[in-house]
Amino acid sequence: MASQFSSHCLTQLSAITSINGFQFRALDLKQDLSTLQSWFNQEYAQFWGMQGLNLAAIENLMAATQHKFALIGEWQGKALFMVELYDPAHDEIGHHYPVAPGDCGMHLIIAPPDGSPISGLSFKVIDAIAQLVLEKLAFNRLVVEPDQLNSKIHRLNSRVGIRYEKAIQLSTKAAFLGFCTAAERQLASNTPSSMALALPSSTQPNPALTTLAKQDLASPSLTKPSSLAAPVTSPMTLSTL
């Protein structure tokens, strides 16, 4: 699977795959480039680090390769999000943990709200992506590496069943390394939601993770910025909770 990551995934998917009301289709660079450029230039999209790029630069960065490809998620007939799936063995993240067969990395951006924000929509998006990766594509683990400052995504990741293993330093950001299996996603879906960050089971948790968890427990606000000092470049961002 690792040597033919993109072709394997796209073969498993039909032209359009529907999951929980979201329609997934392959990113069409000619059709979708201007939409992506608009999303990347939103203020909240700073975590992608692609603001100000022209269409040619975005096309070059988002073009599918043997080891990564992108899908557009549509909802009610409109493009709502873009998710990039990649092989961690051929990404920088692969230097920070022992990549196992069946691992799938994920990057996500959601469109800016069109009208009144819809409560819970971002969680439904992430959960649908987890279902796509772990059930439809039958990967063993979903792998994420969100920026430590992206506090909104940490809470949503926890609700989906993603558990952070450790803090890591990538070339562009200080991040958390997290994983989710199909069983962990199912357990999370059957467990009352908690806003606390899910910490590793180690008896000596990483101080950065502990700090973030305590912050989440202390405040129910989903917009409170993280106090962690970290770069603000990340492939994951949220538009509405």
**pLDDT at position 47:** 61
Write down the pLDDT at residue 218: 40
* Per-residue pLDDT tens over the stretch 17-61: 999 999 999 999 989 999 998 898 877 766 666 777 788 988 988
pLDDT for 113 equals: 82
Q: What angle is formed at CA 134 by the lines to CA 132 and CA 140, rounded to 5 degrees?
A: 150
First to last CA, the chain: 34
**Alpha carbons 129 and 106: distance in angstroms, whole number:** 9
Q: Is the model's pLDDT at 203 over the cut of 90?
A: no
Say what the pLDDT of residue 224 is: 29
CA 193 from centroid of its chain's CA atoms: 19
Least confident piece of the model among 75-79, 130-134, 147-151 = 147-151
Q: What is the pLDDT of residue 5?
A: 92
Between 27 and 215, where is the model more confident?
27
Q: Is the pLDDT of residue 12 over 80?
A: yes
- Residue 225's pLDDT band, with cuts at 50, 70 and 90, is very low
Whole-structure pTM over 0.85, yes or no? no
Closest by Cα among 66, 69, 104 to 83 = 69
What is the model's pLDDT at position 197?
54
Give per-residue pLDDT as tens, 81-92. Answer: 999 999 999 999
Cβ density class 131-147: b for 16+ within 10 Å, e for less: bbbbebbebebbbbbbb
Tokens of 104: 């799938």
For residues 213 and 231, give the distance between their C-alpha atoms in angstroms, rounded to a whole number: 19
Q: What is the arithmetic mean of pLDDT over 139-163? A: 94
Which pLDDT does position 207 carry in this prediction? 53
CA 207 to chain centroid, in Å, comes to 23
User: For 89-141, what is each residue's pLDDT tens digit?
Assistant: 999 999 999 999 999 999 999 998 887 778 899 999 999 999 999 999 999 99
pLDDT surpassing 50 at residue 1: no
The Cα 139–Cα 117 span in angstroms is 32
Q: Which of 10-14, 27-31, 153-157, 217-221 has the lowest mean pLDDT?
A: 217-221
Report the share of the chain in percent with pLDDT over 70. Answer: 76
CA pair distance 67, 55, nearest whole angstrom? 22
